[in-house]
Amino acid sequence: MCGIIGYTPTRTDHHSNRDILNVLMDGLSDLEYRGYDSAGVAIANASVSVYKRNGELSELEEMVPNGPIDGYAGIGHTRWSTHGPPSDENAHPHTDCDGSVAVVHNGIIENYRVLRDELEAAGHEFDSETDTEVIPHLIETSLEQGADIETAFRRAIDRLNGSFAVAAVFSGSEAVYATRNQSPLVLGIGDDGYHLASDVPAFLEYTDQVVYLQDDQFAKLSPAGVEISDKRGTVVDMPVKTVEWDPEEAGKSGYDHYMLKEINEQPRAIRNCIRGRTDEMAGTVSIDELDGIDRPKRIHLVSCGTSYHASLYAARLFRAGGIPATAFYASEYDAGAVPIDGDTLVIGVTQSGETADTLGALRDANRRGAETLAVTNVVGSSASRETDHVMYIRAGPEISVAATKTFASQQVALAMLSSTLTDECSREFVEGLRALPDQIQSILDQSRATEIADVYANSDAYFVIGRGYSAPVALEGALKMKEITYKHAEGFPGGELKHGPLALVTERTPVIAIVTGESNAEEMIGNMKEVEAREAPVIAVTDSPDVVENYADHILRIPQTAWQFTPILANVQLQLLAYWTANQLGRSIDKPRNLAKSVTVK
């Protein structure tokens, strides 16, 4: 959630801020997927020019100047409201009393109320309800006391409690100053300038050379280069890494929505996930980066949202292989209340590697002596740096807020991880893995989800049921439906239908039943009959159409495969059904209301 962008050109001569402004606006556009309700930019020259507006980025585009104005450096921000509702006043950047300092900020400043009271008592005037606004006023106080810019910036940051990423520009200065604590910031090293952002796609069109800033590190971006230092001011050398994502991967490539593009990218994403990790002839899976992990006594999986559903699926696989495993909501994980020691492997499943609740759970596990592993998509993310081991899912950039290809890649990665830790691998398993991309492509080519969505788009609610390994996918299918259609949707194990949810079933509540070879088909058919008796339409997602055709109004077919992978195939049909339903309803599919792609606050 929230997006920061910053830029300073390498040129030291005067130049039009239209160049800087274009870079900032392009970056904000590339960060729209993170979720936001207002946007703004600040350009530093002899003074600081600030433009910010409540609403979509298009609203901001209407107010920024068209003519050339000299500028040295700039910052921008897309805000997702926490302190104070969406408004022009609460939009970032925020300034000090005389407008010579502009600041953008992600995260939560926990002690802002105390700081604000102190500053107001000293005569500072505030224009917003945000926690962020205390930062420029703290900087202003130090500048008035004679500190130089960098010292004033550091002193202000030292007063803050909480999680944050902060960037600032100053009148008359060519530099952007930035720091982070438990909120992501990445630097981009380009030929024509230096960038900073919350995420790589914000500047990927300009450079693929990046530095991942770590907690309590400070960065100064100026025409002379990038200087990184620690909390004490000591300059540190940080490795420059090459991002292997193609800039075109972050575009729509002709699709109407990123979500549809990313659903269709799943065959390639899974090929990338398994590449170099399987030997079909030997029937083995080998994950080189995890060679140092021994079979643990127990496994805890910590995650949120879609990643939690992938964790539920994985926990079943680990238990089937003889390792006790439990999936926890990361926000509810209390390592002090469950058995945890050096024989416990705590796996954090997080697409971004920056999810605040998941990072908190992993840090708690580290403190208690557990071995930790991150299963993530982002190289250099906080989760990848702070755990003992990391396994990358290799899905490539995912822009749509609703996760699709990363969920499939998480399932595949976790299935491979399970096979290695439990020694439950087989030739059938590896063959199933290798067949997945082509099988998913066949679903994409032949799915009837579009026509079914047309029939049921105006339903009152949707229920998704499954058993065994398909139960977590039922939860995920319902989550996708509610995220992007804004319709009520519930997912639960088929056996729970009669323990409450059946009271809500009517002829206007379609029931989507996942009936696959690993499910108990007889029991699932029983559930289908229960809802059919209440006149609810039934949509079956199945690899056995002959078994269910007499009990379903519609069938969405999936190929037969190894039992571990039928949930992955079933999920593709559920993704398509949710997408086409939302499309029929005219929803904002890539940026659903009130939601953010990367949730970096607790």
Question: Annotated catalytic sites, by residue?
Answer: 2, 597
Residue 331 CA to residue 363 CA, distance in Å, equals 13
Question: Quick count: other Cβ atoms within 10 Å of Cβ 52?
Answer: 26
The sign of the CA dihedral 27, 29, 35, 38 is positive
Q: Which two tokens stand for residue 529?
A: 């009959």
d(CA 388, CA 165): 24
567: left (phi over 0), alpha (psi -120 to 50) or beta: alpha
C-alpha–C-alpha distance, residues 429 and 418, integer Å: 11
For 60-117, what is the HEC assignment?
A: HHHHCCCCCCECCEEEEEEECCCCCCCCCCCCCCEECCCCCEEEEEEEEECCHHHHHH
Strands (E), 230-316: 241-242, 278-279, 284-285, 298-303
Do residues 382 and 354 lie in contact, with contact meaning Cβ atoms separated by under 8 Å? yes
**Alpha carbons within 13 A on the beta-carbon side of 112:** 21
Q: What is the spatial distance between Cα 330 and Cα 361, in angstroms, rounded to a whole number?
A: 6
For helices 427-446 and 266-274, angle between their N-to-C axes, nearest 10 degrees:
160
Handedness of CA 582, 585, 587, 592 (dihedral sign): negative
- Cα separation, 483 vs 471, in Å, equals 19
Which segments of 171-316 are extended strands (E)?
176-181, 186-189, 193-197, 209-212, 218-222, 225-229, 241-242, 278-279, 284-285, 298-303
